[in-house]
């Protein structure tokens, strides 16, 4: 049986960076907290917990003299301020690409632009970017919600890092057509696009596809939805979930994984299939 693994399977740059920062901090510090799971992968979160990294859900749970990690998708300005008031150490693992989106939004706001943020309102990354416009920016979730505002002469656009470039370009074109001044910062990161494109390419070639990653991971679930439209597929968290009888008769198996899936889980899947 042949196996084809996507070259984009597994950690993106921002997730890998966040995990490395937390792991090395865990070696030196005793009280280390992440507000919510560091990434959407239960196996990785469990492993970090065994190293003393505790997941909390309320700021009140933070003890004095501890370290709180800011996750790769960043936090709002207000949350950062509250953390500082608590007198704790902050380990900022915000992905540099997300930070750029925050800075560009702030720049646009400070320079009098009506800031348009193309993204998902409830996503923590978008909430954080929004806070950098003092909540005066407008979040547009999809291009049908395009809106022109009274007495606004200049627009400034940024996007959530995981959005589609194609859709963002359509939105940008609408603002260009309908305003005298429009500044655009392309804050979209290529990681998601590359991973999805490669998954599609592999799905075309293989008989069956495994998508490895947390069931609570939005980007892994999206990958699974994409490939299953092309070939039979299964979303699994670990190699233990592989039903050998289901794939025994196939010639080529494809494998991809979400941005929060560690390499060792992907390798476990590869090794299990190799033994068939």
Collapse the DSSP code of 107 into the 3-class scheme (helix H, G, I; strand E, B; otherwise coil) and give the result: helix
Contact flag: residue 162 with ligand SF4 (CB under 6 A): yes
Q: How far is the CB of 139 from ligand SF4 (least distance, A)?
A: 17
Member of 259, 265, 266, 273 binding ligand SF4 (CB under 6 A) = 259
| Cβ contacts of 24 within 8 Å, gap of 6 or more | none
- Give the Cβ contact number of residue 189 at 10 Å: 23
Size of the site for ligand SF4 (CB under 6 A): 14
Member of 191, 203, 253, 255 binding ligand SF4 (CB under 6 A) = 191
Which 60-89 positions form the footprint of ligand SF4 (CB under 6 A)? 72
Q: Which is nearer to ligand SF4, 45 or 62 (CB)?
A: 45
Member of 192, 196, 217, 260 binding ligand SF4 (CB under 6 A) = 192
- Give the Cβ contact number of residue 244 at 10 Å: 10
148 neighbors 139 (Cβ within 8 angstroms): no
Member of 5, 9, 15, 53 binding ligand SF4 (CB under 6 A) = 15
How far is residue 139's CA from residue 126's CA, in Å, rounded to a whole number?
Answer: 8
196 neighbors 222 (Cβ within 8 angstroms): yes
Q: Which is nearer to ligand SF4, 62 or 101 (CB)?
A: 101
1 neighbors 244 (Cβ within 8 angstroms): no
Q: Which is nearer to ligand SF4, 19 or 236 (CB)?
A: 19
Q: What phi, psi does 52 have (nearest 5°)?
A: 95, 10
How far is residue 186's CA from residue 262's CA, in Å, rounded to a whole number?
Answer: 28
71 neighbors 99 (Cβ within 8 angstroms): no
Contact flag: residue 14 with ligand SF4 (CB under 6 A): yes
Contact flag: residue 8 with ligand SF4 (CB under 6 A): no
Q: How far is the CB of 179 from ligand SF4 (least distance, A)?
A: 28
Contact flag: residue 97 with ligand SF4 (CB under 6 A): yes
Which residues form the catalytic set? 125
Q: Which is nearer to ligand SF4, 154 or 222 (CB)?
A: 222
Q: Which is nearer to ligand SF4, 38 or 206 (CB)?
A: 38
Collapse the DSSP code of 49 into the 3-class scheme (helix H, G, I; strand E, B; otherwise coil) and give the result: helix
Residue nearest ligand SF4 (C-beta atom) = 14
Q: What phi, psi does 198 have (nearest 5°)?
A: -65, -35
Binding residues vs ligand SF4 (CB under 6 A): 12-15, 72, 95, 97-98, 161-162, 189, 191-192, 259
């Amino acid at each position: 049986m042949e196996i084809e693994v996507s070259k984009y399977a597994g950690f993106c740059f921002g997730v890998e960076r966040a995990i490395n920062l937390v792991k090395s901090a865990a070696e030196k510090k005793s009280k280390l907290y992440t507000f919510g799971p560091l990434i959407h992968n239960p196996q990785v979160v469990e492993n970090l917990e065994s190293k003393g990294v505790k997941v909390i859900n309320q700021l009140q749970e933070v003890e004095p003299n501890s370290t709180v990690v800011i996750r790769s998708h960043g936090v709002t300005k207000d949350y950062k301020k509250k953390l500082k008031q608590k007198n704790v150490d902050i380990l900022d693992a915000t992905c540099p690409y997300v930070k750029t989106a925050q800075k560009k939004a702030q720049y646009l706001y400070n320079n009098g632009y009506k800031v348009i943020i193309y993204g998902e309102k409830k996503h923590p990354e978008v909430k954080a970017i929004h806070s950098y416009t003092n909540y005066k920016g407008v979040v547009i979730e999809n291009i049908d919600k395009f809106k022109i505002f009274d007495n606004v002469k200049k627009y400034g656009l940024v996007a959530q890092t995981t959005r589609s470039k194609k859709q963002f370009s359509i939105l940008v074109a609408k603002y260009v057509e309908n305003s005298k001044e429009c500044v655009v910062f392309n804050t979209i990161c290529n990681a998601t696009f590359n991973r999805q494109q490669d998954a599609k390419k592999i799905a075309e070639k293989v008989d069956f596809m495994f998508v490895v990653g947390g069931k609570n991971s939005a980007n892994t679930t999206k990958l699974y939805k994409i490939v299953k439209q092309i070939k039979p597929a299964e979303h699994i968290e670990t190699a233990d979930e592989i039903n050998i009888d289901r794939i025994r008769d196939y010639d080529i198996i494809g494998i991809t994984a979400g941005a929060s899936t560690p390499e060792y889980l992907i390798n476990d899947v590869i090794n299990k299939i190799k033994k068939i």
